Structure 1
Amino acid sequence: MADADNLLTEIEALEGRLTAAKAEITRRFIGQERVVDLTLSALLCGGHGLLIGLPGLGKTRLVETLATVMGLDGKRVQFTPDLMPADILGSEVLETGADGSRAFKFIEGPIFCQLLMADEINRASPRTQSALLQAMQERQVSVSGQTRDLAKPFHVLATQNPIEQEGTYPLPEAQLDRFLVRIDVGYP
């Protein structure tokens, strides 16, 4: 019986913290309660979210605010046509030691965080977009033949401009399948 009481107390405390977090987020992201609810739901379920809307509606601000309020290590990658997979995942560089010896050292990319904001994901080439596939599904990446685990928790909140806009690429079905929820961000 004591375990049930403890569980109920923990659930009520979690509800209070979640309500406080949502209040802080909606103070900065005004008039979009449904968007905030869906985004928080994606994070709480351990999934990824795809925020779709026109430029200027606050998608970037929402993700930055979520990282701050939820206490997550957040990083942002601005997807552009010239972005390469190594710009997201990281790469190995040849490092020369003080004694003249040489060895490869892995430099982590921005994907090594808890909340990755893939800003305007559909502006990058399909090759670069696919660099996220393994990370989103398996919570790990393979670089230079070595598998590296990502932080726990690991979430991707991607923003996307409507497909009709110039300079955008459609997301591959395999990548769309990695998102738990599609969140349409309209005008408040």
Structure 2
Amino acid sequence: FLRGFATLNHFITNELSGIYMDITKDRLYCDAKDARSRRATQSAMTVIAKAMLGLVAPVITYTADEILDYAPAIFKGEIESVFDLVYEPVPEVAESFDDTLLLEAREKFSEAIDSLKKEKVIKATLELEIAGDRTLFPISDPKDLEDWFVVSAVKEESEGETLASFEVEGKTFTVHKATRAKCPRCWRYTAPSEETLCERCQEVVE
């Protein structure tokens, strides 16, 4: 029991919260309501939540029952109480995507900027840009890479002040101060000025 619950807690803390929710919160809060990226994340979280609820219900029954009380109908389906819950494993998806390199890069980036946070050079990673050969990573969309590192830009070169660097597979990536202004809506440093929204947010609010 203890080992199983510790494994589940480790997954929630380090992978679900520490990575997945960290890299998807921007699209949930700031993308258009019906944006494909936002809907995809909501769908994935629903599948994960239903599977986890079935795992924790035997241990924290009252909490699971309370979750069902507030859950929307699309989540509950025909479930009326916690006693109707049946564990539904997350379906396996055939995918050749390998995240090993991305996880290594994210860890090295975090190590590189740790002193910047401690010395209060930056308050958040969104104040940063990463420059280097982004073709090294198995993600073609720059926005997805920005979400992965939770920075405002990932590009070949940056004119911003160099603050740190890290190495992945023999290639050096430099970390810079973001060169654009902070968007007042999404807080990414991608706006032309602090009084105006970035292009993405402007499209959403219109």
- TM-score where L is the length of structure 1: 0.27
Greater RCO, 1 or 2 (C-alpha within 8 Å, sep 6+): 1
- TM-score where L is the length of structure 2: 0.25
- Structure with a larger share of its residues in helix: 2
- Structure with a larger share of its residues in strand: 1
